[in-house]
Amino acid sequence: MPKEFTMTRRVQFAETDLAGIMHFANYFRVMEEVEHAYFRSLGLSVAMKLEGVEIGWPRVSTQCQYFSPIKFEEELQCHLRVTEMGNASLTHEVEFTGPDQRKVAAGKTTMVCVKRDQTGFTSLRIPDLIRQKIEG
């Protein structure tokens, strides 16, 4: 750690708002897309089954700071770093950079590993398979 991952993502028309820029809530969707692409890059999925248990990763907290707007069809570079892995929780940060290397935004998410079943979610120690992949 920190484990890193980078992805490029174009701003889509439906993600803009009447101010002509990407709507602030859509950064959270992109942040999640980066996280899931990162999991896939490790051969994992955020919605995987391990030994018959359906794993899930609900959010505990998430935040974003905005430095500069980004427009339709511009490309966001999204750089993820895992900054903390606890017993059941995982924290990562994502830096968003614009086409001219300008700082666009920075996000941070803490999520918790759970077992999902009919009754809901139960907190779960991050399984070793996942832990080892993230620790690299």
Q: What is the binding site for a second copy (CB under 8 A)?
A: 12-14, 16-21, 23-26, 28-29, 32-33, 36, 40, 45-47, 56, 58-66, 69, 71-73, 116, 120-121
- Cβ distance to a second copy smaller for residue 13 or 128: 13
Tell me which DSSP letter residue 52 carries. T
| Shortest Å distance, C-beta 78 to a second copy | 13
Q: Output the DSSP codes for 60-125.
A: EEEEEEE-S--BTTPEEEEEEEEEEE-SSEEEEEEEEE-TTS-EEEEEEEEEE-EEEETTEEEE-P
Shortest Cβ distance from residue 132 to a second copy (Å)?
A: 21
Nearest distance, CB of residue 23 and a second copy, angstroms:
5
